[in-house]
Amino acid sequence: MSWLLPAVVAGPLLAAGLTIFVGRRLWLQRGITIVGVGFVLGAAIALLVAADSGSAQVTQIGGWAAPAGITLVADRFAAIMLTVSASMLFLVLIYAMAQLRRDALDWWFHSKYLILTAGVALSFVTGDLFNLFVGFEVMLIASYVLLTAKTGPGEVRATMSYVVINLVASAMFLVIIAFVYLTTGTMNLADLSRVMVDIDPAIRNGLGMLTLVVFGIKAALFPLFMWLPDSYPTAPTPVTAIFAGLLTKVGVFVIIRTQTLLFAGDEPSTLLLFVAGATMVVGVLGAIAQNEIKRILSFHIVSQIGYMIMGLGLLSVAGLAASILYITHHIVVKTGLFLVGGLVESEHGTGALDRIGGVLHRRPVVAMLFLPLALSLAGMPPFSGFVAKLALVQEGIALDHGLIVGVSLMVGLLTFFSMTKIWGAVFWGRETEATDRAAPGMLGATVLVVALSIAVAAFAGPLADLAARAAGDLIDPAVYADLVLGAGQ
| Distance separating alpha carbons of residues 159 and 138, to the nearest angstrom | 16
Q: Is 68 in the site for another protein (CB under 8 A)?
A: yes
Q: Which stretch binds another protein (CB under 8 A): 49-57, 130-138, 304-312, 426-434?
A: 130-138
* Binding track over 228-257 against another protein, x by CB under 8 A: --x---------------------------
Please, what is the angle between helix 364-378 and helix 440-458, to 10°? 30
Smallest separation, CB 257 to another protein (Å): 20
Sequence-ordered list of residues with C-beta below 8 angstroms from that of 205, at least 6 positions apart, any chain: 263
| Distance separating alpha carbons of residues 89 and 83, to the nearest angstrom | 10
Q: Is 292 in the site for another protein (CB under 8 A)?
A: yes
| Distance separating alpha carbons of residues 321 and 314, to the nearest angstrom | 11
Q: Is 197 in the site for another protein (CB under 8 A)?
A: no
Q: Is 186 in the site for another protein (CB under 8 A)?
A: yes
Cα→Cα distances 85→14, 81, 272, Å:
19, 6, 25
Q: Which stretch binds another protein (CB under 8 A): 136-144, 246-254, 420-428, 463-471?
A: 136-144
Single out the residue of 154, 223, 364, 444 in contact with another protein (rule: CB under 8 A).
154
Sequence-ordered list of residues with C-beta below 8 angstroms from that of 185, at least 6 positions apart, any chain: 195
Smallest separation, CB 222 to another protein (Å): 18
Single out the residue of 29, 59, 111, 148 in contact with another protein (rule: CB under 8 A).
148
Single out the residue of 26, 31, 101, 137 in contact with another protein (rule: CB under 8 A).
137
Phi (first) and psi of residue 434, to 5 degrees:
-90, 140
| Distance separating alpha carbons of residues 217 and 27, to the nearest angstrom | 38
Q: Is 55 in the site for another protein (CB under 8 A)?
A: no
Q: Is 62 in the site for another protein (CB under 8 A)?
A: no
| Distance separating alpha carbons of residues 382 and 369, to the nearest angstrom | 15
Smallest separation, CB 349 to another protein (Å): 17
Smallest separation, CB 168 to another protein (Å): 7
Q: Which stretch binds another protein (CB under 8 A): 155-163, 267-275, 370-378, 389-397?
A: 155-163
Q: Name residue 71's beta-bridge partners.
A: 60
Phi (first) and psi of residue 200, to 5 degrees:
-50, 125
In the complex with another protein, which residue's Cβ is closer, 94 or 120? 120
Smallest separation, CB 137 to another protein (Å): 5
Q: Which stretch binds another protein (CB under 8 A): 24-32, 118-126, 183-191, 215-223?
A: 183-191
Smallest separation, CB 163 to another protein (Å): 6
Q: Is 203 in the site for another protein (CB under 8 A)?
A: no
Footprint of another protein on 408-467 (CB under 8 A)? none
Select from 247, 228, 299, 320 the least CA-distant residue to 85: 247
Q: Name residue 58's beta-bridge partners.
A: 73
Single out the residue of 163, 192, 293, 340 in contact with another protein (rule: CB under 8 A).
163
Select from 78, 77, 155, 143 the least CA-distant residue to 113: 143
Smallest separation, CB 171 to another protein (Å): 5
Single out the residue of 14, 34, 101, 179 in contact with another protein (rule: CB under 8 A).
179
Footprint of another protein on 261-280 (CB under 8 A)? none
Q: How many CA atoms are closer than 13 Å to the CA of 58, on its beta-carbon side? A: 23
Query: Total residues at the site for another protein (CB under 8 A)?
Result: 45
Smallest separation, CB 358 to another protein (Å): 24
Q: Is 285 in the site for another protein (CB under 8 A)?
A: no
| Distance separating alpha carbons of residues 13 and 66, to the nearest angstrom | 25
The answer to whether 140 and 251 have CB atoms below 8 angstroms apart is no
Single out the residue of 104, 182, 202, 487 in contact with another protein (rule: CB under 8 A).
182
The answer to whether 342 and 99 have CB atoms below 8 angstroms apart is yes
| 426: number of Cβ within 10 Å | 27
| 324: number of Cβ within 10 Å | 31
Q: Is 157 in the site for another protein (CB under 8 A)?
A: yes
Rama region for 126: left / alpha / beta (φ>0; ψ in -120 to 50; rest): beta
Q: Is 177 in the site for another protein (CB under 8 A)?
A: yes
In the complex with another protein, which residue's Cβ is closer, 275 or 302? 302
Chain-centre distance of CA 14, in angstroms?
Answer: 24
Residue 186 DSSP SS3: coil
Q: What share of the chain is helix, strand, coil (3-state, %, to 5)?
A: 80, 5, 15
Residue 462 DSSP SS3: helix
Single out the residue of 14, 26, 31, 144 in contact with another protein (rule: CB under 8 A).
144
In the complex with another protein, which residue's Cβ is closer, 145 or 409? 145
Residue 184 DSSP SS3: helix
As separate numbers, helices (DSSP H) first and strands (DSSP E) second, the chain gives 21, 2
Q: Is 171 in the site for another protein (CB under 8 A)?
A: yes
In the complex with another protein, which residue's Cβ is closer, 80 or 356? 356
Smallest separation, CB 302 to another protein (Å): 16
Q: Is 489 in the site for another protein (CB under 8 A)?
A: no
Residues that bind another protein (CB under 8 A): 64, 68, 130, 133-134, 137, 141, 144-145, 148, 151-154, 156-161, 163-164, 167-168, 170-172, 174-175, 177-179, 181-187, 230, 289-292, 295
